[in-house]
């Protein structure tokens, strides 16, 4: 038997639109994380043209892909398309597909499981397969931006960016707990440093307030730093056509050494003052000991 038949094909369409109150920059970042696509690829998605990002004959898989695509904040929709394909010869005994009308049925002869006849967009299927990874593709850039102790911070960043979603996970930072505003300036978070100064000043008035602020900051510092780094790297990626990304990472990222030098200087002055006061106290006491 010859001829052709129409087969249903489900497609996921995207036109570069995002949900209300969502930032396109953040949605782009989530798409890059979840589907492992580069900057050029995500910019192509947001070109304003209607793009087919997924196609399959399986409605359940199409629904699953559309849901995860929409979870990033992108607006997509599913449409049904049809494709013409030749009618497949089938075995008269078991109804399974055969290579040709005259061929023997491999299912009846060998009981091998036939191949699934599903067709799918190859590019997006491969991206879908890697989307369950816990490691963001931007992790190396975040680590490079952090500069000193980048590997240590990268391990924390992994916890906060699992499966393309920003999630708070408890962690601890001794530097932030002990040095507070000095650590913030050292890590170039100047706006938060000003805010922390105001909160710390208010905490002095309340008994135990300063200690509570320090504990809170020690617990949330890594997450706050992750949000800072993520935002800065995204802005560098967006402006990559106008600036040199590597130069921007070095100039904007890393640390500000001035607070650390100042802190060491103050510690040294404190130690010298302590020994100086002890020396002069002993000098006054010595005559009475004779």
109 touches 91 (CB < 8 A) = no
Does the pLDDT of residue 278 top 70, yes or no? no
Does the pLDDT of residue 217 top 80, yes or no? yes
Please compute the mean of the pLDDT values over residues 251-260 and round it to a whole number.
82
**To which H or E segment does residue 247 belong?**
helix 245-252
Percent above pLDDT 90 for the chain? 21
151 touches 143 (CB < 8 A) = yes
pLDDT digits (tens, 9 = 90+) for 228-240: 999 998 888 877 6
- Category of 243 on φ-ψ map: left (φ > 0), alpha (ψ -120 to 50) or beta: beta
Q: Which residue has the tokens 């504990």?
A: 215
Please compute the mean of the pLDDT values over residues 180-206 and round it to a whole number.
87
- Residue of higher predicted confidence among 26 and 162: 26
Q: Which residue has the tokens 């040709």?
A: 100
The pTM score is: 0.50
In angstroms, the CA 190 to CA 174 distance is: 19
How many residues belong to the chain? Answer: 290
Give the pLDDT confidence score for residue 32 in this predicted structure: 87
Percent above pLDDT 70 for the chain? 67
Confidence of residue 108 (pLDDT cuts 50, 70, 90): low
Query: Which residues, 6 or more positions from 88, have their beta carbon under 8 angstroms from its beta carbon?
Result: 97, 98, 117
Give the pLDDT confidence score for residue 4 in this predicted structure: 53
Q: Which residue has the tokens 């996970």?
A: 169
**To which H or E segment does residue 77 belong?**
strand 74-86
Give the pLDDT confidence score for residue 215 in this predicted structure: 92
List the single range of 61-70, 163-172, 189-198 with lowest mean pLDDT: 163-172
Torsion angle of the four alpha carbons 143, 147, 149, 150, in this order, in degrees rounded to the nearest 10 = 0
Does the pLDDT of residue 191 top 80, yes or no? yes
Buried b (16+ CB within 10 A) or exposed e, 12-37: bbbebebeeeeeeebbbbbbbbbbbb
Does the pLDDT of residue 192 top 60, yes or no? yes
pLDDT digits (tens, 9 = 90+) for 9-37: 889 999 989 988 888 888 998 898 888 88
Give the pLDDT confidence score for residue 80 in this predicted structure: 83
Query: Which residues, 6 or more positions from 197, have their beta carbon under 8 angstroms from its beta carbon?
Result: 181
Query: Which residues, 6 or more positions from 249, have their beta carbon under 8 angstroms from its beta carbon?
Result: 141, 144, 145, 233, 236
Does the pLDDT of residue 286 top 60, yes or no? no
| 161 phi/psi in degrees, rounded to 5 | -130, 35
Judge residue 92's burial from the number of C-beta atoms within 10 Å of its C-beta, 0-12 exposed, 13-18 middle, 19 or more buried. exposed
Please compute the mean of the pLDDT values over residues 138-158 and round it to a whole number.
90
The crossing angle, in degrees rounded to 10, of helices 139-146 and 150-160 is: 140
Cα 142 versus chain centre, distance: 9
Does the pLDDT of residue 183 top 70, yes or no? yes
List the single range of 34-38, 119-123, 143-147 with lowest mean pLDDT: 119-123
């Amino acid at each position: 038997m010859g001829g052709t038949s129409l087969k249903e094909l489900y497609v996921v369409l995207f036109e570069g639109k995002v949900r209300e109150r969502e930032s396109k920059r953040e949605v782009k970042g989530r798409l890059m994380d979840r589907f492992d696509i580069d900057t050029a690829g995500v910019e192509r998605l947001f070109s304003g043209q209607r793009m087919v990002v997924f196609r399959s004959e399986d409605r359940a898989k199409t629904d699953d892909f559309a849901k995860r695509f929409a979870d990033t904040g992108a607006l997509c929709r599913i449409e049904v398309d049809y494709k013409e394909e030749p009618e497949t010869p089938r075995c008269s005994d078991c109804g399974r597909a055969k290579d040709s009308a005259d061929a023997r049925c491999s299912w009846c002869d060998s009981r091998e499981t036939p191949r699934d006849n599903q067709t799918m967009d190859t590019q997006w299927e491969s991206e879908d397969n890697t989307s369950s990874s816990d490691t963001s593709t931007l992790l190396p850039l975040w680590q490079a931006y952090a500069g000193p102790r980048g590997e240590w911070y990268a391990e924390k960043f992994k916890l906060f960016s699992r499966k393309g979603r920003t999630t708070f996970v408890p962690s601890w930072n001794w530097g932030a707990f002990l040095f507070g505003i000095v650590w913030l300036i050292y890590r170039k978070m100047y706006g938060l440093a000003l805010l922390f100064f105001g909160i710390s000043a208010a905490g002095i008035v309340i008994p135990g307030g300063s200690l509570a602020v320090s504990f809170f900051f020690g617990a949330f510092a890594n997450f706050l730093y992750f949000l800072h780094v993520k935002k800065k790297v995204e802005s560098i990626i967006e402006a990559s056509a106008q600036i040199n990304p590597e130069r921007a990472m070095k100039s904007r990222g890393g640390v500000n050494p001035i607070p650390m030098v100042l802190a060491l200087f103050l510690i040294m002055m404190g130690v010298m003052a302590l020994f100086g006061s002890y020396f002069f106290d002993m000098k006054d006491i010595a005559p009475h000991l004779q």
